[in-house]
Structure 1
């Protein structure tokens, strides 16, 4: 993706131009040209950026225009911001930035929730953010292929291969992964980011911006939070492996702070609030387990665990425990106990 600086009108605000790849050149980096992405993703991303910033101003880079012919999005320059994954690998992340992330996604979910929108507005949202090629990729590369033994796109180290049976030979893991896929595909709850991991967030001190929103669609809000918490959990195992126990323990606090901040701000719900929140956390646990497993057994790994096979094995165990126990997890504290084997 090419980025070019520029100016708009009389403003002094630097911009960057994000040019969508051509049809045959636009593909998943981890898989290569055999998996091209639809060019329509630029339009989806632009519409999502507008929706997110309308709901929660400052949640994403400001957008200035989208040229559908040239497939160019012109947006705010974030040169003062840094990639969250790179920062957290170095052991740098403030509590305020964690709260900022959780608050933004909670408000986006709240303002674009089935409990808040009229029937015509919900239908319009579904029309804008329905089942796209990118959602299909998520279905395949998060919920299907990583749980399919001998799928050719899967890749993992020899050390991890010795523990892959924990997934492939466990009927409960496979059955619950299928259940989570069904929730992902069928629960039309709210507008979600759809790919919320630490590599799709930019941070600057206590501020955060959500990026790469081309996977946005109307789905279960727990998927966003599950993916985000899964990435904090994998960071925990990275830092424990590196001997940085102090920051590893902080990632547990990040997960708890994410849950607390989210529920303080996501006040749209169906049914009774207590039941809704408990089920939400159960879904978060299931989605977190799927995300961890796919990042270790599947095609797209995370830099946090690269070159750390023992940390990857430990994280894989956490993913398995979360999927197996998801129906018994109804608080973030309990999720943390099971993910980290805490006492």
Structure 2
């Protein structure tokens, strides 16, 4: 059996996550039992939610156990099989974690899914046609409920989730406005993805300037807001929300290192009769088939664009992940293993 490099969570962060929270180890993969398959990972998915799981605190998911492989999505191929449903060379998506290989009990529902790479790149199944894409689809369609002519705003607009939100909103006849950090990201959001406008929060460091820029980009106010960041960004958009607006609360990365994120004007939720709903996409599996069908078709036909930041090799995973938390990635953050 092949040698397997793995990244473990060695200790929990105190405040900001650092590279020394992780540990690189190497082990032999165990022999397969009946019903199992051996998957060689081509790509690891790095996602902001992983930061919350590094803490030993109450959340919607159990904490990442210490001394075990960091958990996360993977895409790869079957290199050995003792399961009749999987053959050598099958391209698959699963939850193999930060390691080069995984042994999977393929008979368990949801553990491993075959994917077709004829028209969709394998890496896209960890991004636009994977969990991030379904997250965008669900939050927009089921919570923001976009209607033609409305204005939809999304923070972290150039990221794996935000980029899909804006493109889906445009496809439904909405004005799509992004918020992103840096001119390059905003240019990409408007010129490549087709958003109507993008506000560069790094160019507007004080709240008044940020509000003025968002007001210019949303002359008719905001009807739907897809939140990935929180903090000052959320405060600013709240001040532009129209009556009966809808907010899909997907992430609050501004507070992932433990900083408090107080709302400056929570009374706006009442005065504007806003719907604010947090959601975890894994709790809505009944919607995944419809979402993946639409997303897969759009990617395969070139109508949904995406961008990837790719780190090379398992050893690069910790620093790539820490960069993701700082917004250094451009699009979906992946680690390529082969």
Q: Of the two, which has the highest radius of gyration? A: 2
TM-score category (smaller protein) = under 0.3
Q: TM-score, normalised by structure 1?
A: 0.24
Higher relative contact order (CA 8 A, sep 6+): 1
Pick the structure with more strand per residue.
2
